[in-house]
A and B are shown apart, each in its own frame.
Chain A
């Protein structure tokens, strides 16, 4: 009995550090590795500006930039710009994604509709949102409506494509069950079509929002008077490159977080809908 007990504790002792080491390692892999490249860039930047490899007017020192960032944060300029940008994304998304959903449902469910509308849609969708800018500026000016239309278009396309894909891939076996049980159209939609489309809708939403974010920054840079994108342009015209850099970092970080959050939400939805089971 005693030998047995001793053996047990011996084994546990041996196993524990291994497991911990492995955990520490995987944590290191997940946290440290992604940060290695940004740290390297930061170091290079520091070296370049301190040693005067690049003129400080073009590349200000990192600590100046940090100071400007704190100033802008305190004055609320960044928050105000971000708020404007996010309101636009929200509006463009609501309009574009809901229209995209309906349109995707139409061409996904009806082969006739797809035959009529599908090719035109796909051709127009191939033109990037920014490609629409010149003609839309002529039509709409550089008012708010321009940004909303561009964003709505940016959301519409991925949402429509994902939704159509989802509507086409309702499992055949389950559709046959619906036929045999003679489900009413309403039940069929809410208990078969829609739930089976959930994973597709989730990735549609994620793609729309990432598209919208990218397009928004560009539109604000090209035809804006406020927002995060404009903040960068404004910094450049003032030769305040620190503001431009802050804009880039803020946009990059926000975009990254947005995508990460949406990915989490998407995989959560996928798990919940039983699509992977």
Chain B
């Protein structure tokens, strides 16, 4: 059983009237409760791929199948964008509360969950603040809280920690892992940071550009909790970087 099956997906955008391929024959599966990291050069189509998976863009070839939780209930897909996309006219709390709009939860329960998720990302004191009163990193954390609050079966994250300093980044990576352990959620996370990809992922997909395609896949069979200083991670990092840079060295 797979949570997400991506088969031979290709996508092109029209640029000045010419179709320019952006994704070329992408195939991979995501097992339930698996974390898949995607790394690749800027512009190789990582964001585009996530947009296809979440259903924001239906103009592509190939197939994307989300394994439902059961036969009757479709999988819930959440997404954290590269930019925070909070609603500027709503408080941080109200932004997170949007995640419950489609549910039948009662008001007090919703409130409790908003508290819970804001606490998780360290924003308890900012529930009543407006997005423009937050720093870039705080806004991004609020966006993560909103996506988590939706309690998705599949969580797509587009460079979610890119705007954060390294300490906070590590803390949130560990938060993410603990949430992931508690809830059965499959995660696809796009990142520029190879270490992050290796630390979080059960698998790391390395993409290359022009057109975007999968160059290599690394299975990370290290038990959790992982030690960031593990020499095996360091060795994997070397291989990963060689794969990423190797292509650029050639071109």
Contacts and interface: CB of A to CB of B under 8 A. Distances in A.
Nearest to B83: A173
B132 A181 contact: no
A247 B132 CA distance: 47
Main secondary structure of the interface of A (DSSP, over half): helix
A30 interface: no
B16 to A, nearest CB: 21
A142 to B, nearest CB: 46
Interface string B75-96: 0011101010101111000100
B98 A191 contact: yes
A180 B101 contact: no
Contacts of A173: 81, 83, 85
B112 interface: no
B54 interface: yes
A181 B102 CA distance: 7
Contacts of B89: 191, 195-196, 198, 273-274
A181 B85 contact: no
B150 interface: yes
Interface size class of A (residues with CB under 8 A): 20 to 34
Interface stretch (A31-39, A182-190, A260-268): A182-190
B101 A184 contact: yes
B130 interface: yes
Contacts of A277: 88, 131-132
A180 B146 CA distance: 11
Contacts of B78: 180
A274 B130 contact: yes
B98 A187 contact: yes
B99 interface: yes
Contact of A181 (B94, B99, B130): B99
A176 interface: yes
Interface string A114-153: 0000000000000000000000000000000000000000
A71 interface: no
A177 B143 CA distance: 10
A180 to B, nearest CB: 5
A182 B87 contact: no
Nearest to A272: B89
A174 B101 contact: no
- Quick one: which of B54, B77, B87, B99 has the most chain A CB within 10 A? B87
B56 interface: yes
Nearest to A182: B102
A174 B85 contact: yes
Q: Which of A177, A183, A184 has the most CB of B within 10 A?
A: A177
Nearest to B152: A180
A111 interface: no
B83 A181 contact: no
A180 B98 contact: no
Contacts of A7: none
Contacts of A8: none
Nearest to A186: B101
Contact of B88 (A177, A187, A275): A275
A180 B130 contact: no
A191 B54 contact: no
B56 A195 contact: no
Interface string A244-276: 000000000000000000000000000001110
Interface centre among B77, B83, B99, B131 (most CB of A within 10 A): B99
Nearest to A177: B85
A48 interface: no
A99 interface: no
A82 to B, nearest CB: 37
B131 to A, nearest CB: 7
B83 A274 contact: no
Contact of A179 (B56, B81, B101, B131): B56
Contact of A174 (B87, B130, B146): B87
A70 B31 CA distance: 86
30 contacts: A173-B83, A174-B85, A176-B56, A176-B81, A177-B81, A177-B85, A177-B98, A179-B55, A180-B54, A181-B98, A181-B101, A182-B102, A183-B98, A183-B101, A183-B102, A187-B101, A191-B87, A191-B90, A191-B94, A191-B98, A192-B87, A195-B89, A195-B90, A196-B89, A273-B89, A274-B88, A274-B130, A274-B132, A277-B131, A277-B132
Interface of A: 173-174, 176-177, 179-184, 187, 191-192, 195-196, 198, 273-275, 277
Given A173-B83, A181-B146, A275-B88, 14 more contacts: A173-B81, A176-B85, A177-B85, A177-B87, A179-B55, A180-B54, A180-B79, A181-B101, A181-B102, A183-B101, A184-B102, A274-B89, A274-B131, A277-B132
